[in-house]
Amino acid sequence: MVIIPAIDIKDGKCVRLAQGDFDRATVYAENPVDMAILWAQQGAERIHVVDLDGSVAGEPRNSGKILEISRQVQVPIQVGGGIRSRETIDYYLSHGVASVILGTSALKNEQLVRDAGSDYPGKIILGIDALEGKVAIRGWTQKTEETAIDLARHYEGCGLKAIVYTDIKRDGMETGVNIEATCELAREVSIPVIASGGVAGIADIEKLMAIPEFPVYGVIIGRALYTGAIALEEAIRKSRC
C-alpha cells in the first residue's frame, strides 16, 4: 500500500481544512514547496496536491506553486482542484505532473473524463468526495444525490489509474478512516482505491492493510502528519510489512 502525504494549497500556503470547511483552515507552511521537499526527503513515493482555491473557482489558482513542486521534487505528484477542462489536463500533464484528479467533472462532464482516460491511460484519477455516502462537488460546497459506488461503476473500463475516495466528515478530523465505506467501494469496482480522510495514527494503516480480499491501493494522510500524530517514515515502514 502506498502512503501518500497531502499538501492542500490555499492562498499560496500549505493548509489543512476541517471537514472541508474553508473557514476552518490551519496554515502549516507558508510555502507548500518546502513541505513537498520534506515529504520527499522522508521517503514519500507519491504526493497528493490539491488547489483548494481552484476547486471553488473551477480553474487553477495555485498552478505556479504546483508546477514548482513538480520541478523541485523527483517524487510523482497527483494534482486535483479546479481541473475541469481539457486545456488544464493537458497543461498539468505536459509540465511534469504525474496524474490529475477529476472530481466535479465526473458528474458535470462525462465525456471529458472518458476522453482523458483514453488519451492519458494511467494518468487520470477519479476523485470521489462523499458526505454520508453521497457525492459532493465544487470543492465540497455542493452535495448531490449520486452515490459514490454508482459514480465509480460508471467509469469502469475508462483507463483510470485510481479512485481517491474521501469521507468529508472525517477529513482533517483525525477520527479514523471510514474502513467500511472504503472497503465497500473497493469491493464493488475494479479500479484501485486510494483511501482519504480521517487518518489518525498507525492503527488506521494497519486496518487498511488488513482488508484481505479487496486491498486498498494507497492512503492519503494529511493533518495527522502535520500535527505529528503519525510520522511519515513510520507509516511507510508499516505499509511495507
* CATH at residue 28: 3.20.20.70
pLDDT score of 172 more than 60: no
Report the pLDDT averaged over residues 196-204: 90
Report the pLDDT averaged over residues 208-220: 85
Which of 49-53, 175-179, 203-207, 237-241 holds the top average pLDDT?
A: 49-53
Helices of type H across 80-178: 86-93, 104-108, 110-119, 148-154
Question: CB neighbours (10 Å) of residue 148?
Answer: 25
Q: Where residue 104 falls among pLDDT bands split at 50, 70, 90? A: confident
Q: Which candidate in 23, 53, 115, 129 is catalytic?
A: 129
Q: Is 165 helix (H, G, I), strand (E, B) or coil?
A: strand
Q: 50 is in which domain, residue-wise?
A: 2-239
67-90 pLDDT per residue, tens: 999 999 999 999 999 999 999 999
Q: Rounded CA gap, 46 and 6, in Å?
A: 9
**pLDDT for res 161:** 97
Element (H, E) at 99: strand 99-102
Q: Find the largest Cα–Cα distance for the chain.
A: 42
With contact defined as beta carbons under 8 Å apart, do 162 and 125 qualify? yes
* Bridge partners, 13 (sequence order): 10
Between 78-82, 99-103, 137-141, 224-228, the lowest mean confidence (pLDDT) is in 137-141
- Domain count for the chain, please give it: 1
**pLDDT for res 77:** 98
Q: Where residue 38 falls among pLDDT bands split at 50, 70, 90? A: very high
**pLDDT for res 34:** 98
Report the pLDDT averaged over residues 101-128: 94
pLDDT score of 66 more than 90: yes
* Residue 8 appears among annotated catalytic residues: yes
Q: What percent of the chain has pLDDT over 70?
A: 95
Helices of type H across 125-173: 148-154
Please state the pTM of the whole predicted model.
Answer: 0.92
128-140 pLDDT per residue, tens: 988 877 888 765 5
Q: Rounded CA gap, 28 and 35, in Å?
A: 9
Half-sphere exposure of 164 (CA within 13 A, CB side): 32
Question: CB neighbours (10 Å) of residue 156?
Answer: 11
* Residue 115 appears among annotated catalytic residues: no
**pLDDT for res 106:** 87
Q: Is 130 helix (H, G, I), strand (E, B) or coil?
A: strand
Q: Rounded CA gap, 65 and 42, in Å?
A: 21
Report the pLDDT averaged over residues 98-126: 95
Q: Where residue 152 falls among pLDDT bands split at 50, 70, 90? A: very high
**pLDDT for res 4:** 98
